[in-house]
Amino acid sequence: MADFLAMGGYAAFVWSAYGVTALVLAGLGLATVLSARRARAALHEAEQQIQGRRRTSRAQARAQR
């Protein structure tokens, strides 16, 4: 097992490469989750603005009749 972990003398390079890869993948996953949350919040806000405009325009149309 120790020979496997030593990677034939290249353990420092191999394990650091695995570590960097794991950090990058974790960062990309986190960035994806945060981006999706921001997109959902923006969509919700846009939907609320559209609903407000529809209510206002309908009320104005009724008032003009």
Q: Indicate whether 17 belongs to any domain.
A: no
Q: Is residue 7 part of a domain?
A: no
Residue 63 domain flag: yes
**Whole-number pLDDT of residue 65:** 65
Structural domain total, the chain: 1
Range of the domain at 58: 37-65
Q: What is the pTM of this model?
A: 0.66
Question: Does a structural domain hold residue 48?
Answer: yes
Residues near 11 by beta carbon (within 8 Å), at least 6 away in sequence: 5
Residues 6+ apart with CB under 8 A from 57: none
Question: Is residue 41 a part of any domain in this protein?
Answer: yes
Q: Does residue 61 sit within a domain?
A: yes
Give per-residue pLDDT as tens, 35-54: 999 999 999 999 998 887 77
Residue 13 maps to a domain = no
How many CA atoms are closer than 13 Å to the CA of 38, on its beta-carbon side?
6
